A and B are shown apart, each in its own frame.
Chain A
């Protein structure tokens, strides 16, 4: 600690250079946290998926609906203990910029199949009792200032029309992975509003099974049942469904890893160059320190510590900025990332990477400083 004053004094010598180096590291780590959070938010969606729930959709694509008549046949299949269904609504609340997910669900079965969506019993009862009611997640309710009894106007896009939902419940996720940015309302209300040709159509079915081991067997039996119908099905676990939903966007994980690594590597090269320049222009001072009795090892540590301090400050600024900005901005990218929260692990990893960048960028100048011969360095000046 007694050398901290010496280290920081050098960083203040070229304030602009230090500021620019810290800023470039901060931006790199900010981007790293952002890209990693894309991946962790996907992971959160996967973690929130239950092993004991299957999703049934049209075999051709998610955009094609299935008939409501499938419900009764599905509930008769051996191994299925519950069936619920719903439709992605995709409406606009006041302004297209207000992005959040809305689902029309069959409320009585939904409540049973999704115990992780928690609400007080009286709110559940109120939701069940009122056809035009809805429930909203605690996060989104806080964002828009919704309270129980408020009426939320939503303009339908996939299902054109003006809809008004009364908030009868505000749910909380049982775990942190459960999305609290969604509005759920009665499928019946949507179905009533549809013209005759679109009535009785379901986006997806959720099936409850007693345990995850039965998933493959039940899935194949469901799909076999409708294999030769005009609306064949594709059944998979909720986790697989989420994963396939994510994979629609391509190999996101690989893309994020390549982007993140490229950014960090580019900044690392810049930082190495800056640190080498900073150490080289101080050769005389380093020789003076050694003349005073500073050992090669101590000089090496001092120069290295300077590089680590610069990187660490940049890393903390970048990671904390990412954490604060995404927390306040409530970024969801149109509902694609309902849980877009920079996790403490991501911040921790970012800071570890920053320290590693400091170590790597400080290694060469520190070794050069450590090896510097006093007489040679002083002779160059004299």
Chain B
């Protein structure tokens, strides 16, 4: 643990203080998040809602440590993300965050097994241990018999479940999901939401999910509404 990590507030898993994110296109400044502050406790399932361009995905990227704020502080899982250098931040992501994309983003040339194994290649686990963990993750998402299938041989719902297996295989504290049901039909969307709910309730994973779908948001403990980069409404337990 780095000195930066040791100075982390212990109550919240995620804490943002006065966060700004401003993009620059040529000489024009485009503010996406403007002075946003929020906290999420460990074990929560939080939904982020808002219209397109409201800054939901940007906020998710900041929480997942794949983007940095223009101003303000982002504390997640014991680390001030702005203080970490790129390599440390990458290592932090590998340890703490599982990312679920709307379009699954599996590597097409790798099998389900190899896709799920990817995060474990960064660990010191040997081949046997990695195999055990990958099978366990695939079993959790109900795809133990699809391990040698390539993404194009799977349905959308199955692809997303492989992506979830990839996100949880390293046993991260936090799962972030960017519209995980956005590309799925209603039945598959339900299955994915149920799976996320199970991961939250049975395995204690903290989940932050961006969604446009109010029905999906109902599965969360709390929902935050964003508009033009500002939190305008809070429902449930999130502060």
Contact = CB atoms under 8 A, between A and B. Distances in A.
Interface stretch (A48-56, A251-259, A283-291): A283-291
Contacts of B127: 2
Given A9-B114, A292-B118, A374 B94 contact: no
Nearest to B114: A5
Interface in B11-32: none
B109 A12 contact: yes
Interface string B92-110: 1111000101110101111
A293 B114 contact: no
User: Max chain B CB contacts within 10 Å: which of A290, A293, A381?
Assistant: A293
Contacts of B66: 290-291, 374-375, 378
Contacts of B119: 292-293
Query: Closest 9 interchain pairs by CB?
Result: A293-B94, A375-B67, A295-B90, A9-B109, A374-B66, A293-B93, A13-B109, A288-B105, A295-B87
Given A288-B105, A296-B90, 8 more contacts: A3-B121, A6-B118, A288-B101, A292-B119, A294-B122, A374-B67, A378-B101, A382-B103
Given A9-B109, A10-B109, A291 B64 contact: yes
B67 A293 contact: no
A6 B113 CA distance: 12
A161 interface: no
A292 B170 CA distance: 10
Interface in B155-185: 166, 170
A343 B67 CA distance: 54
A202 B56 CA distance: 96
A292 B109 contact: no
A376 to B, nearest CB: 9
A288 B90 contact: no
Q: Would you call the interface of chain B mostly helix, strand, loop, or mixed?
A: helix
B57 interface: yes
A298 B127 CA distance: 19
A160 interface: no
Q: How large is the interface on B (under 10, 10 to 19, 20 to 34, 35 or more residues)?
A: 20 to 34
B102 A382 contact: yes
B90 A294 contact: yes
A9 B103 CA distance: 21
Nearest to B95: A293
B173 to A, nearest CB: 13
A292 B166 contact: yes
A297 interface: yes
Interface in A9-68: 9-10, 12-13
Interface in B52-98: 57-58, 61, 64, 66-67, 86-87, 90-95
B87 A296 contact: yes
Q: Would you call the interface of chain A mostly helix, strand, loop, or mixed?
A: helix
Interface of B: 57-58, 61, 64, 66-67, 86-87, 90-95, 99, 101-103, 105, 107-110, 114, 118-119, 121-122, 127, 166, 170
B105 to A, nearest CB: 5
Interface in A264-320: 284-285, 288-298
A6 B114 contact: yes
A290 B67 contact: no
Given A9-B110, A374-B67, A295 B118 contact: no
Contact of A290 (B90, B95, B109, B170): B90
A2 B118 CA distance: 10
Contacts of A290: 66, 90
A4 to B, nearest CB: 11
A294 B107 CA distance: 14
A374 to B, nearest CB: 4
A292 B94 contact: yes
Contact of A295 (B86, B108, B110): B86
B109 A291 contact: no
A292 B93 contact: yes
A365 B94 CA distance: 24
A381 B86 contact: no
Contacts of B121: 2-3, 6
A237 to B, nearest CB: 62
Given A3-B121, A374-B67, A375-B66, A293 B108 contact: no
Contacts of A382: 57, 102-103
A285 to B, nearest CB: 6
Nearest to A285: B107
B87 A292 contact: no
Contacts of B58: 375
B61 A293 contact: no
